[in-house]
Amino acid sequence: MQLGALVVTQGTNHQSGEAAHSWISTWPVVGKTVVERWIDRVRELGVGVVSVVDRNAEPPVRIMDWVKEGVEQILLILSGAYAEIDLADLIHFHHEGRNRITRVFDKKGPLGISLLNRGAILKGGVRPGLDEALKSSRYDFLGYVSRLSSAMAYRQLVQDALEGRCGIQPAGYQADDKIWIDASARVDVSAKIQGPCYIGANTRIHAGVVITGYSSIEGNCEIDMGTTLDHACVLPNTYLAPGLLVRNSVVDGTRLEQLEKGVTVDLGRAALAARRYAVAPSVSHGATDRANAFHRDEELDLQPPMVPRDITR
C-alpha cells in the first residue's frame, strides 16, 4: 500500500507582530527545524511521496494527482507541533480499525496529525484532515509533545533536546558532556562554554564569550566579544554586539523576546544586534557586497578554525 505524506508549514511571516508565533516551526531546534525533523521521520518510514507546503499557499498541493497515481493513504502533518509519535504504530492502528480518517490527540487535544484514506481524500481533498468537526477515529498519544505556540515553548523544546528529555539529537559533534558544536563553527579559546549547550554551523564565537544555561546558537551567527548567553536561544543569521548579557531570551536578528517579562525589543535601534547575511565565498563582490561588514569579516579572517579549550561542565 502506497503512502504519501504532506507536511503543512504554518507560514514564515516574520513581520506579523508579537502575538503571532506561527513561524516557530520553521525555527531550527539545535540544528534542524521541526519541519525538517518531520520530513526525516516520514522518510524513515519509507513513504513514497512527501511534499511540504505552506498553509497559506494556493492551491495547497497536488493531492488528487497522488491519489490518481496510486497513493492510498496520506499522512497529513500540520507542523505547528513537535510530537514523537510512532508513525508506524499510527498506520497500524489506522489499518486495524479500518478507519477512513484517524486523528492524533494528546491530553490537551488534537495535534494536527491525521491519516486519511483514499476515499476520504477523493471526497474532500485534504480538507477532512483539517476539519476537526468531521467524524474520525481517535489515536491517543501519550509521549513527548511540544506545541510550539510561543517562544517560551520553543525555548523549552531546545532545553529538553539539550537535556535529552526528548528524542531530538543536536547536530554537530559532541565536544564534551552535553556540549554540541558543529564542525564548521569557530570558537575562540577564551570563550567559556558550560553545557548543556549547542553551537551551530558557520557560527563564530569571539573572545571572552560565556555560553551557559541550556543556550543554543543556531547557524551562521556571530557572538561578539564578552557577551554572555544564559538560558538564551539565538536564531540563525544573528549578530550580537560585544559585552551584552542575554538572559532568558530568544533572539532572531534584531528582534529579542525576553521570556520572563514577555517583552519584545528591537535591538537594531540600539545597535546591539544585526541580521547577518550569508554570501557564498565564490561570489565576486560589487560595491554593495563590500558594504556588508560581517561578510567581509568572514572573508578577510584567515585564522584557522579554533578548537574550544576552556570547556567546563
Partner 1 sequence: MTSKGAVVIKKFPQSRNFARRKAFLTEIRNLARSTYRPQLVLDISESVELDPDAIELLLECVEQTERADGRVSVIAGSPQAAVILELTRLTSVLDLYSSVSEAVNSGTLHRYKAQDVVQPLAV
Sole binder of partner 1 in the list 41, 55, 62, 247 (CB under 8 A):
247
Asked if residue 142 binds partner 1 (CB under 8 A), the reply is no
* In the complex, least distance from residue 263 CB atom to partner 1, rounded to whole angstroms: 4
Contact 228, 212 (CB under 8 A): yes
Among 102, 44, 58, 96, smallest CA distance to 77 is for 102
Q: Look at residues 250, 247, 245 and name the one whose alpha carbon lies nearest to residue 264.
A: 250
Residue from 272, 276, 298, 308 binding partner 1 (CB under 8 A): 272
Is 245 a binding residue for partner 1 by CB under 8 A? The answer is yes
- Residue 271 interacting with partner 1 (CB under 8 A): yes
* Contact characters 196-235, partner 1, x per CB under 8 A: ----------------------------------------
Return the residue of 261, 290, 309, 313 that touches partner 1, per CB under 8 A.
261
Sorted by sequence, the CB contacts under 8 Å of residue 270 that are 6+ apart come out as none
To the nearest whole angstrom, how small is the minimum distance from the Cβ of residue 244 to partner 1?
Answer: 5
CA distances from 132 to 73, 117, 169, 281 (A): 18, 16, 32, 49
Of residues 265 and 279, the one with the C-beta less far from partner 1: 265
Candidates 111, 197, 244, 250; binder of partner 1 (CB under 8 A) is: 244
Of 3, 197, 246, 311, the residue at the interface with partner 1 (CB under 8 A) is 246
The string of DSSP codes covering 163-198 is: HTSSSPPPSSEEEETTEEE-TT-EE-TT-EEESSEE
Question: What's the rounded Cα separation, in Å, for the pair 192 and 21?
Answer: 32
Binding flag, residue 270, partner 1 (CB under 8 A) = yes
Q: How far is the CB of 264 from partner 1 (least distance, A)?
A: 8
Which three cell numbers, joined as nine digits, stand for 35?
519541519
Q: Segment near partner 1 (CB under 8 A), from 11-19, 139-147, 189-197, 268-276?
A: 268-276
Choose between 99 and 212: whose C-beta lies nearer to partner 1.
212
Nine-digit cell string for 54: 505552506
Number of helical (H) and strand (E) elements in the chain, helices listed first = 8, 26
Cα distance from N-terminal residue to C-terminal residue, the chain: 50
Q: Of 16-24, 96-104, 258-266, 292-300, which part binds partner 1 (CB under 8 A)?
A: 258-266
Interacting residue ranges for partner 1, rule: CB under 8 A:
243-247, 256, 258, 261, 263-267, 269-272
